[in-house]
């Protein structure tokens, strides 16, 4: 904003000097009749100010929206770096149907915006499922409890008001944490309770993948170096490695 203000002052000073020069030239050319043109121009000044104000407001609004989008995606990126990718890796491992979409989710730098949209549309009809019996609930609990403070800080971020779907994802992940932490023991749980936990995991699994795909698209368009690492650590790639080959 400070940079924008400096630019505005510079442009304003240049316009003022230009105006003085033109009126001086007008005076020298037409002598004493310059006031006639001055009054004529003055009549249009309110309209000019209105137009400039509207344009300036639009520019500032667009700049604010871009800034908010940047900040929101920084929050999303932090979530996936700290928690999201690990959860996708674990939840997809529990999904007996994941092979139906694994190939579709191997994002590359050759993907177009249309391909992102096409895969996202296909995911809407994908039947996310979880075999909770294959889950290491003790390990999952330990991981989420360790990340509890981080999740709380993200939930408190006012930027989330602009991203309802991501907010719901965070709530679903936080709920899994609460459910696992509420049980004194995670061994010998009845089938009814395991089914309940499977439903909680499934509730988070779906948006985890959808929001991740949207974030991958954003990184590809705006931050190729971030996208490069995310591509090499894709949770759906069984051969994923951060090592550049």
What is the domain partition of the chain in residue ranges? 2-62, 68-232
In the chain, the percentage of residues whose pLDDT exceeds 90 is 57
Instruction: Write the CA distances from 233 to 48, 58, 228, integer angstroms.
Output: 54, 40, 9
pLDDT at 63: 72
DSSP H helical ranges for 31-44? 34-43
Give the side-chain half-sphere CA count within 13 A for 204: 22
Instruction: Copy the structure tokens of residue 206.
Output: 């779906």
Rg, the chain, Cα only: 28
Nearest Cα to Cα of residue 83 among 166, 156, 163: 166
In contact, 116 and 217? CB cutoff 8 Å = yes
Please write the tens of the pLDDT for every residue from 37-66: 554 565 455 556 556 666 766 766 677 777
Tell which wins on pLDDT, 56 or 224. Answer: 224
DSSP type of residue 188: S
Instruction: Copy the structure tokens of residue 118.
Output: 């096409």
Residue 154 pLDDT exceeds 80: yes
CA 166 centroid distance within chain: 9
pLDDT at 240: 86
> Residue 23: what are its φ and ψ, rounded to 5°?
-65, -35
Residue 36 pLDDT exceeds 60: no
Mean pLDDT of 191-218: 95
Range 29-32, long-range pairs (CB < 8 A, 24+ positions): none
pLDDT at 66: 74
Model pTM score: 0.74
> Residue 143: what are its φ and ψ, rounded to 5°?
-65, -45
Tell which wins on pLDDT, 231 or 52. Answer: 231
DSSP type of residue 221: H
Distance CA 31, CA 142 (A): 86
């Amino acid at each position: 904003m400070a940079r924008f203000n400096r630019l505005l002052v510079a442009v304003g000073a240049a316009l003022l000097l230009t105006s003085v020069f033109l009126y001086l030239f007008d005076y020298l050319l037409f002598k004493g009749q310059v006031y006639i043109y001055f009054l004529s121009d003055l009549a249009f000044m309110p309209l000019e100010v209105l137009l400039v104000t509207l344009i300036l407001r639009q520019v500032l609004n667009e700049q604010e929206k871009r800034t908010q989008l940047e900040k929101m995606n920084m929050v999303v990126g932090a979530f996936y770096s700290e928690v999201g990718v690990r959860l996708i890796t674990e939840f997809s491992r529990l999904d007996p149907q994941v092979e139906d979409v694994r190939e579709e989710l191997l994002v590359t730098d050759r993907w177009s915006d249309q391909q992102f949209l096409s895969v996202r549309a296909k995911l809407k009809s994908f039947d996310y499922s979880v075999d909770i019996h294959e889950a290491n609930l003790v390990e999952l609990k330990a991981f989420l409890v360790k990340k509890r403070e981080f999740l709380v800080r993200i939930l408190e971020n006012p930027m989330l008001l602009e991203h309802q779907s991501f907010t719901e994802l965070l709530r679903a992940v936080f709920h899994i944490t609460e459910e696992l932490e509420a049980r004194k023991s995670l061994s010998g749980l009845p089938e009814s309770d395991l089914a309940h936990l499977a439903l909680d995991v499934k509730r988070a699994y779906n948006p985890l993948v959808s929001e991740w795909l949207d974030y991958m698209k954003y990184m590809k368009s705006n931050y190729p170096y971030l996208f490069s690492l995310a591509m090499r650590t894709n949770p759906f790639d069984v051969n994923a490695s951060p090592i550049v080959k």
